Structure formats: C-alpha cells, structure tokens
Structure 1
Amino acid sequence: MQLLAGGLTIFASIGGLHLGDMLVVLVSFLLLLALLKKFAWGPLMNQMEKRENYIASEIETAEKNRLEAEKAVNEANERLKSTRQDAQQLIEDAKKAAQQQEQSIIQAAEAAAARIKKSAEEEIAREKEKAIEALQAQVATLSVQIATKVIEKEISAEDQEQLISEYIKEVGEER
C-alpha cells in the first residue's frame, strides 16, 4: 500500500501532485464547465445571436432604405426633367403666341394704315373736285364779268391784255 500511496503522490517531496487532488480539480473543472455552459455560455451565445440578428436586420433595413432613397432620387430627377420639359414647352408656346399676336397686330396696323390712306386719298379727291368746281364757278363769273365789261366798251388789244392780267391776279388772290 505504501507503493500505492507512493504512486498516488507523485513527487510529493518537491511539492508534488496528488492524484486525488488532481481528480477533484478535474471533476470541479468539468463541473464548472458544465455550469458555465448552462448558465453563462448559453445565455451569452443567445445574446450574441440576438445581437447578430439585430445587426443583420439593421443592415438589411439600411440597404432597403438606401434602395428606396435611390429610387426616390431617380423619381425626383425624372419629375424635375419632366418639369423642365414642361417649362420649356410653355416658353415655346408663349413665344409662338407672341409671334402670332405680333403678326395680327402688324396686319391690323397695315389694314388701318390702308384705310387711312384710302380715306385721305378720297378726301383729297373730294377737295380737288371742290377746288375745280370753285375754279369753274370763278372762271364762269370772270367770263361773265369780262363779257359785261367787253359789252360796256369796246376794248383795244392793250385793254384786253390788261383785263386778262387783272383777272388772273384776282384768281390768284382768291386761292
């Protein structure tokens, strides 16, 4: 037994290792590992798994939000492009309307000018006719007056030229 007792204690003289102590420590260590696995490692792993799932869902949400943001930016760009095209179309339509209005104003002005010119020409023609009628009346009156004076006296060639000159002066003054 001494040998057995001696075998259970290895190098006891130098502080050695006792097999019994080692077994107790090993059993205690295994028991501690089992307890840690059950009470610490399991909940810790559950927390780690929850954290991993949370991070994965946050990454997925962030990616989804990024895609939605890109889609929103693209839609906004399309709306902006469409709005610019609409604005350009409105500007072009306004230019066309302005050109049409300009043409109609020019045509109306030309028509008014033509009417005014025609009216002025008609007025000139009427005034000319009145002047001719007035001259004819004066010539007729002068002819009667000349004839009356001629009848009253016989006129020499000098007197006749003098009378014609006087009547021409009178006609010139009456204008």
Structure 2
Amino acid sequence: MLASSLVLGAAEGVRFNGGDIIFQLIVFLILLALLKKFAWGPLMGIMKQREEHIANEINTAEASRLEAKKLLEEQRNLLKEARNDAHSLIEAAKKQGDIQREEIINFARSEAERIKEVAKLEIDQQKEKAVAAIREQVASLSVLIASKVIEKELTADDQDKLINEYIQEAGEER
C-alpha cells in the first residue's frame, strides 16, 4: 500500500502534508530533548571533567617543573658554595703547611745553632783541658830540663816565671 500511495503521490503531484511535518518536527524536538538530557548532558559533563582533569595535570606538571627548576638552582648554588668552601679549606691548609714548614725550618736552624754552640763550648772546654794538661807537662819538663841544664834547684817563683816565659815563646811560635 505504501508503494501504491507513493506511486499515486508521484502521479498526482507532490502535496504538502502539514500534519506529518509537524508530527515529525515534534518527534525530532523530543528526540533532541532526550538526547540533550540523557546523552549530550552526561557526555558534556564527562568532557568537562576530562578538561578539568587535563588542566589540573598541566598545572601540576607546571608546578612540578617550577619546583624542579628551583631545586636545581638551589643544588647548583650549594655545589658552588661547596666548591668555594673546599677551595678555601685547601688554601688554608696550604697556608698552614707553609707556616708549619717555616716553623720546622726555623726550629731546625735554631737547634743546629744550639748544637753548634754546645759543640763549640765543649771544644773550648776540651781545648782548655788539653792546654792545661800540656802546661802541666811543659812545666814538669821545663823544670826537669832546667834543673839538668842549670843543675841547680829553682825556687817556686823562679819556676813559675820560667814556665810562663816558655809558654809565651811556645805560643808565639805557633
């Protein structure tokens, strides 16, 4: 029947049926309202939630990036300070080493001088002992020689005088 009405409608010409158009328009509007309420609204809500979620993720990522940049800058500053501190410590250690080296050298020099002075004193003492021993021997020999040469007995004053003269002569010959 539908086929016959289409053929009939085609043969008779196109007629305008306002009731069908209004009915279809009302059904279309109801369908749009239902779609808006049950499909478009939830779909837009989901899209809105998705948009907010993505915006939050972007904000979080940006905040994390800024925080990481800040931490990186702090780490660089700390590393720079650590290098400066290490350099200062090395310089201080070098200065302290130089000071200690100078102290050790000065101490060694003063100790060498002290040892040298002690050695000189000891040499002088030994020299004095040797000179005194030689004087005694020279005095004894002088007396012995003088007594044999002169063949007489000398007094103590004459003996001292003779010894001093002999020592002076021996000292001049050196």
* 1:21 CA displacement: 3.9
Number of the residue aligned with 1:13: 10
Residues 56-65 or 140-149, more deviating: 140-149
Percent identity (aligned):
52
Give RMSD over aligned pairs: 2.4
Q: Which amino acid aligns with 1:33?
A: L
Query: 1: distance between equivalents of 2:141 and 2:8?
Result: 178
Number of the residue aligned with 1:106: 105
* 1:28 CA displacement: 1.8
Query: 2: distance between equivalents of 1:17 and 1:113?
Result: 138
Does the alignment pair 1:135 with 2:131? no
Residues 16-25 or 127-136, more deviating: 16-25
Q: Which amino acid aligns with 1:62?
A: A
CA deviation map 1:35-67 (0-9, x unaligned): 101111111111111111111111011101100
Q: Which amino acid aligns with 2:145?
A: I
Q: Which amino acid aligns with 1:56?
A: A
Query: 2: distance between equivalents of 1:152 and 1:129?
Result: 32
CA deviation map 1:17-44 (0-9, x unaligned): 8734444333222211111011111111
* 1:151 CA displacement: 4.4
Number of the residue aligned with 1:49: 48
* 1:132 CA displacement: 1.2
Number of the residue aligned with 1:63: 62
SS in 2 for 1:60: helix
CA deviation map 1:110-150 (0-9, x unaligned): 11001000011111111111111111111111111112322
Number of the residue aligned with 1:92: 91
Query: 1: distance between equivalents of 2:68 and 2:77?
Result: 14
Does the alignment pair 1:145 with 2:141? no
Query: 2: distance between equivalents of 1:17 and 1:75?
Result: 83
SS in 1 for 2:132: helix
Distance 1:146 1:42, change over 3 A: same
Query: 2: distance between equivalents of 1:125 and 1:100?
Result: 37
Length-normalised TM-score, structure 1: 0.74
Distance 1:79 1:55, change over 3 A: same
Q: Which amino acid aligns with 1:12?
A: G
Higher RCO, 1 vs 2 (CA within 8 Å, ≥6 residues apart): 2
